[in-house]
Amino acid sequence: MKKDNGFFCKRIIRGMTVEGLEIYDFLRLVFITFIISLIVITIILLVPKKRSNLVNGFTVSITSIISIIVSGINLIIIGYIADDLNSGGDVISSYLFLIILGLSIFNLFIHFKNKNSIISE
């Protein structure tokens, strides 16, 4: 029996996987995961009594930096895929990246604002 590996590669190059989901959908899962984690951190930062025990400046900073870097790399990869497939790209992923960027900056702002107000009291 002859094994055909070319079928899978041809389907990936066309932008589809064997299951029929587009490659963009898999990369959007990464964006959505970061958005959910950043929203959880935002909620923790906005609840004043629990904030000091659950997150600190290092956690907020590292989470924000990693989410921005990984999301930016994914956005670049989506651009390369769109260029190879001669498609118009994925606008939704661009919006998801902007949401991640905004949430990351907002979390840093909230943390350092709360930290300065605790020190001044």
What is this structure's pTM? Answer: 0.75
Name which residue leads in pLDDT, 14 or 72.
Answer: 72
Q: 100: exposed, middle or buried (C-beta count within 10 Å: 0-12, 13-18, 19+)?
A: buried
Q: Given a cut of 70, is residue 118 above it in pLDDT?
A: no
Alpha carbons 117 and 121: distance in angstroms, whole number: 6
Task: Please identify which residue in the block is written with the tokens 């921005």.
Answer: 68
Per-residue confidence band for 121, with pLDDT thresholds at 50, 70 and 90: low
Q: What is the pLDDT of residues 30-58, one digit of tens each?
A: 999 999 999 999 998 888 765 556 788 89
| Residues 6 or more apart in contact with residue 37 via CB below 8 angstroms | 63, 67
Q: Span 78-97, mean pLDDT?
A: 84
- Please check whether residue 108 is in contact with residue 65, taking contact to mean a CB–CB distance below 8 angstroms: no
